Chain A
């Protein structure tokens, strides 16, 4: 369609492009600043007052050296990877099974089970009774306390259930005639057909678990060796306690300006991996949000 481009339209376009550019800058600027600060000369960093567009002073990787020499960060990384792997595998498998069972027809307990799952989206016991449960199960200070509670999300089950229900029944009919059991049908026929929903669930679980800190902070209080990365980051970035990460370093490293540098490096070290997988998952991410409509 040919359009007459009016003057007001041109003005609007300029403003609109400008606004979008501004939004992009605002989204990127804080992370860019931190990235530049993390390779800055620590002394000059202390005296800079505004947003950094390039590193202050000559580039140095001293901060990263200190961070990677530190056992806490390494422990945190390993633990986080373990928690991410465990929750993703357990959560996805259980979600697939749950979605599958409540998508079956002609099953008397289908409705009670569905309602039982759905009700947990509306009402819950809350923090304290859950904490007491974990405590009486003896899970406090065990890594299982970070993995099991919340590993199944009722919301993902519903997503899974509706993708199963959207599949044409003919896919499984022939398998049934061949005498295949439900598990065979699920694994061999249905799962490959709902790959995209599974990808969405896997992606959301990974991001959520990578960034999770609260359960670990209440269940693993005495076991620093089990802490995920985010808890060590909280100690450094939020509680302002760099003493532990710099312990063993020389006095110079404990100076204020180095502590500042270490904070920026830790931020980058903890954020970069998840930002690196983001470009590859953006499609699933968008689809997941549109499918769900709500945050998990």
Chain B
């Protein structure tokens, strides 16, 4: 069972702290003793703490600009307070609904299509018995993960341009000649396919590892019972990796709001905003291109909050499931 690292660790350390507190009942002297004993470790930790305060916690504090008509010249303390206006402006903006829809659709397509395909790929790869062939397939299918987003987008742009090789193929199949990236109907598909190309092998690594740790005895027992390889895959392998599947699925649910926004940023253009613009790209455009800082900070904050809620909820479900699976 793969734990969801951050949250489980956090709970562990919280309970550990309670015990620690019980053991040494607070008091100034114990703090002094602690510092005397650990000052060198605190000294080592101080740059880390300072780093996190500056680069992670100051921006969180900076979120107050979401409630301001923020102007960089006036700063956080001089800018005019507008309450929830930025949020209201976002919720009533004409693009709010489609930006929200695109974020979810693009994420869920990856979840509902890309995710199962990785599992199927891992299962089918497990049926390959020639080690060299298997290793070669793994080697080649992980490789696209190392290609940069810029290059992948360059390839997509080149292949689906009005004279690109994918367009040429589709024209032969009867499509009208066009640049596919100019047509909003194709964006979700193109984004999904390029994600699959880059991530199918990578996504399967986890499952391949899980499959290899299913106990050999179970296979042998199933074989003695007369189960063929197909049945063994169905009755032994899949149940064996189910905890990993569930955990990964839930983890992915928690990451729905963090769509691969840098790829979209490179691929989209005004003519396909209606299907390609997601919350994160909207923030980038409103904030950094149009300099509406307060508004875009509010949009980003909305994104972060929904993302955090999804993460916590899915983690809760995961723990519940883990408890059930203990039975």
Contacts and interface: CB of A to CB of B under 8 A. Distances in A.
Contacts of B137: 20, 23-24
B59 A182 contact: no
A115 B155 contact: no
Given A125-B60, A233-B151, A107 B41 contact: yes
Contact of B148 (A17, A136, A240, A274): A274
Interface stretch (B91-99, B108-116, B202-210): B202-210
Interface stretch (B184-192, B304-312, B319-327): B304-312
Given A34-B155, A234-B266, A237-B153, A131 B287 contact: yes
B262 to A, nearest CB: 5
Given A132-B65, A213-B149, A233-B154, A154 B6 contact: yes
A295 B4 CA distance: 12
Interface stretch (A64-72, A247-255, A281-289): A281-289
A16 B127 contact: yes
B246 interface: no
A30 interface: yes
A182 B14 CA distance: 24
B173 interface: no
Contacts of A213: 148-150, 262
B55 A20 contact: no
Contacts of B200: 23
Interface string A255-296: 000000001000100110011001100100110011011100
A101 B265 CA distance: 38
A50 B167 CA distance: 10
B235 interface: no
Contact of A132 (B136, B169, B293): B293
Nearest to B223: A1
B48 A94 contact: yes
Contact of B165 (A49, A101, A149, A274): A49
A169 interface: no
A165 to B, nearest CB: 10
Q: Which of A19, A126, A271 is the most central at the interface, judged by chain B CB atoms within 10 Å of its CB?
A: A126
A142 B208 CA distance: 43
A128 B266 contact: no
A271 B151 contact: yes
A177 interface: no
A30 B287 contact: no
B163 A49 contact: yes
Contacts of B128: 16-17, 20
A235 to B, nearest CB: 10
Interface stretch (A53-61, A116-124, A193-201): A116-124
Contacts of B45: 97-98, 101-102, 109, 113
A233 B28 CA distance: 59
B317 to A, nearest CB: 16
A293 B206 contact: yes
B20 interface: yes
A113 B47 CA distance: 12
Contacts of A293: 2, 4-5, 206, 247-248, 251
A167 interface: no
B175 interface: no
Contact of B147 (A1, A128, A181, A271): A271
Q: Which of B265, B303, B305 is the most central at the interface, judged by chain A CB atoms within 10 Å of its CB?
A: B265
Q: Helix, strand, loop or mixed for chain B's interface?
A: helix
Interface in A167-199: 181-183, 186
A107 B62 contact: no
A50 B165 contact: yes
Interface in A88-121: 94, 97-98, 100-102, 104, 106-111, 113-118, 120-121
A263 B154 CA distance: 9
Interface in A28-60: 28, 30-31, 33-34, 49-51
A129 B149 contact: no
Contacts of A102: 45
A104 B41 contact: yes
Contact of A127 (B61, B146, B155, B284): B284
Interface in A225-244: 230, 233-234, 236-238, 240
A289 B205 contact: yes
Contacts of A230: 148, 150
Given A218-B288, A237-B154, A290-B205, A152 B283 contact: no
B20 A108 contact: yes
A158 interface: yes
A123 B251 contact: no
A118 B52 CA distance: 10
7 contacts: A101-B45, A111-B14, A122-B311, A181-B40, A237-B154, A278-B143, A289-B205
Interface of B: 2, 4-7, 9-10, 13-14, 16-17, 20, 30-31, 34, 37-38, 40-42, 44-45, 47-49, 51-52, 54-63, 65, 72, 75, 121, 124-125, 127-128, 133, 136-137, 139-144, 146-151, 153-155, 157-159, 163, 165, 168-169, 197, 200-202, 205-206, 209, 220, 223, 228-230, 247-248, 251, 255, 262, 265-266, 280, 283-284, 287-288, 293, 296-297, 300-301, 303-305, 308, 311-312
Given A3-B229, A102-B45, A125-B58, 5 more contacts: A51-B165, A108-B38, A111-B14, A129-B300, A130-B62
Across the A-B interface, the 8 shortest Cβ-Cβ residue pairs: A125-B59, A237-B154, A129-B62, A126-B300, A211-B148, A111-B17, A101-B45, A129-B59
